[in-house]
Amino acid sequence: MNPDFDQIKRTTDIIRVVESYGVKLKRTGRNYVGRCCFHDDKNPSLIVTPDKGLFHCPGCGAAGNVIQFVARKEGISDREAALKLVSTGESPRDQKLDVAEHAAYTAMLNMILNLDEVITKE
């Protein structure tokens, strides 16, 4: 399964995802700021721009879209991060499934990720 990166970036709430990693964001105009979770940040330097779906930290140079945020935070590939966003329901593409469908879909994604790991190791 190949995730639709563009759709995930367009439809996933980057604010909600960043906050789900424990970053407290405060609105400042069009942007949100908070302490960067990628380095020891004493003053808020992480800037999240929801209109563009991007984040940037001038302190450590971390920057990118919602998929890249999850990939960097989790230490996984962009593909794995995209699948994680879909499987956790962060991407609206998955939100129309009922509980049983969501469980089956998540199990399928986990099998794909496990298979990908096996293939990569060989």
Number of domains comprising the chain: 1
pLDDT at 11 (0 to 100): 87
DSSP readout, 78-121?
A: HHHHHHHHHHTT-SGGGTTS-HHHHHHHHHHHHHHHHHHHHHHH
Residue predicted with more confidence, 21 or 96: 21
Q: Is 122 exposed, middle or buried (0-12, 13-18, 19+ CB in 10 A)?
A: exposed
Question: pLDDT tens digits for 26-54?
Answer: 999 999 999 999 999 999 999 999 999 99
Band of the pLDDT at 116, cuts 50, 70, 90? low
Q: What is the pLDDT of residue 104?
A: 66
* CATH number of the domain that residue 101 is part of: 3.90.580.10
94 pLDDT tier (thresholds 50, 70, 90):
very low
1 has a pLDDT exceeding 60: no
Beta bridge partners of residue 31, listed in sequence order: 28
What is the DSSP code (8-state) at residue 24?
-
**Nearest-angstrom CA–CA distance, 82 and 36:** 21
pTM above 0.85, yes or no: no
H/E stretch holding 63:
strand 63-65
**Which residues form the domain of 104?**
5-121
What CA–CA distance (Å, rounded) separates 2 from 68? 16
Judged against a pLDDT cut of 90, whether residue 24 lies above it is answered with yes
Q: How far apart are CA 21 and CA 6, in angstroms?
A: 22
118 vs 112 pLDDT, higher one: 112
